[in-house]
């Protein structure tokens, strides 16, 4: 949502300042210049990238323009889900969750968390790790190394569409110059015309440079930067999953594993200890615990 607001502010500031200086707005309406710059930019994108990266760019832009998937509420829900899963493993043994992790789509536990299920990489990250833990043939250090490698590979793949979009943004000023040069070529062919016509053609040529620079630094570049931050947020989320899982595999009880994960959450979205406890134990349990503590204090 903030990205949309930022785009509107950029457009409003640029056009507003131009109008304040009595600039004729119609001069900026140059569809031919926009076609040259935008079409060439899209063409270079198609030349340089396979279809999977183009789809990833579209998905990343959609995510930037929507709500973040890695806020405090999402972390609370994830920690609650992990507590239920790990607590079940502690009560029933690791084989007790085998059916859940082998077929998470049909697991009653995971069905209570549809947002987690629909993110296939997050789901597989948890299930594949616990699947290896059930085998009992891999120690905690090797499990941690596998999770770290998984996160690194995913991060590298997630950065590829951002690199492609950044490259496109860097090319836009140059493509704007291409459009301007073509405009100058047209102008040179009309030098024997009236001054007003020549001035209009020169203005149209300069608009090409203007559009290329504005699209680079006002739109595509910032969108690429925002996508990069989204990837960093997902990387932080996967790191929290890693901390929780490796803590449990090392033998810590679910409560301590969840607390270790909570403290790995970035500070600006980190829920408090009481919030996490209320999430996985329920408000009633929290109220009973507070009442018991007050009774003990009075005694």
Digit-coded pLDDT (tens) for 6-39: 999 999 999 999 999 888 888 888 888 999 999 9
pLDDT at 42: 94
pLDDT at 13: 93
Residue with tokens 């082998």: 102
Lowest mean pLDDT among 54-58, 61-65, 162-166: 61-65
**DSSP 8-state assignment for residue 291:** H
Digit-coded pLDDT (tens) for 98-133: 999 999 989 999 999 999 999 999 999 999 999 988
pLDDT at 226: 92
35 burial (CB, 10 Å; 0-12 / 13-18 / 19+) is exposed
- What tokens were used for 161? 């569409």
Q: What is the mean pLDDT of the chain?
A: 88
> Model-level pTM?
0.85
Query: How far, in Å, CA of 104 to CA of 96, rounded?
Result: 13
291 burial (CB, 10 Å; 0-12 / 13-18 / 19+) is exposed
298 pLDDT band, cuts 50/70/90, is very low
- What tokens were used for 288? 């009973």
- What tokens were used for 50? 């396979």
Digit-coded pLDDT (tens) for 194-213: 888 888 888 888 999 999 99
66 pLDDT band, cuts 50/70/90, is confident
Residue with tokens 């929780």: 244
pLDDT at 265: 95
Query: How far, in Å, CA of 75 to CA of 178, rounded?
Result: 48
**DSSP 8-state assignment for residue 191:** T
């Amino acid at each position: 949502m903030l990205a949309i607001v930022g785009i509107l502010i950029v457009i409003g500031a640029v056009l507003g300042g131009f109008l304040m200086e009595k600039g004729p707005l119609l001069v900026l309406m140059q569809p031919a210049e926009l076609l040259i710059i935008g079409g060439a930019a899209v063409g270079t994108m198609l030349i340089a990238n396979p279809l999977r990266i183009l789809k990833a760019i579209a998905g990343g832009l959609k995510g930037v323009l929507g709500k973040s998937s890695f806020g405090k509420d999402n972390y609370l829900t994830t920690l609650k889900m992990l507590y239920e899963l790990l607590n079940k493993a502690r009560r029933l043994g690791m084989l007790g969750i085998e059916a859940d992790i082998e077929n998470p789509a049909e697991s009653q536990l995971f069905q209570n968390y549809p947002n987690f299920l629909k993110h296939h990489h997050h789901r597989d990250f948890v299930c594949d790790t616990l699947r290896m833990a059930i085998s009992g043939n891999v120690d905690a250090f090797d499990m941690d190394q596998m999770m770290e490698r998984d996160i690194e590979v995913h991060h590298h793949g997630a950065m590829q569409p951002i690199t492609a979009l950044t490259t496109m943004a860097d090319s836009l000023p140059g493509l704007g110059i291409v459009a301007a040069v073509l405009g100058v070529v047209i102008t040179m062919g009309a030098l024997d015309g009236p001054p007003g016509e020549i001035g209009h053609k020169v203005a149209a040529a300069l608009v090409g440079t203007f559009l290329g620079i504005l699209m680079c630094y006002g739109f595509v570049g910032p969108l690429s930067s925002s996508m990069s931050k989204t990837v960093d947020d997902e990387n932080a989320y996967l790191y929290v999953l890693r901390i929780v899982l490796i803590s449990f595999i090392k033998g810590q009880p679910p409560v301590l594993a969840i607390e270790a994960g909570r403290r790995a959450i970035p500070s600006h979205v980190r829920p408090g200890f009481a919030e996490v406890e209320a999430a996985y134990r329920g408000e009633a349990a929290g109220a009973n615990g507070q009442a018991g503590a007050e009774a003990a204090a009075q005694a």
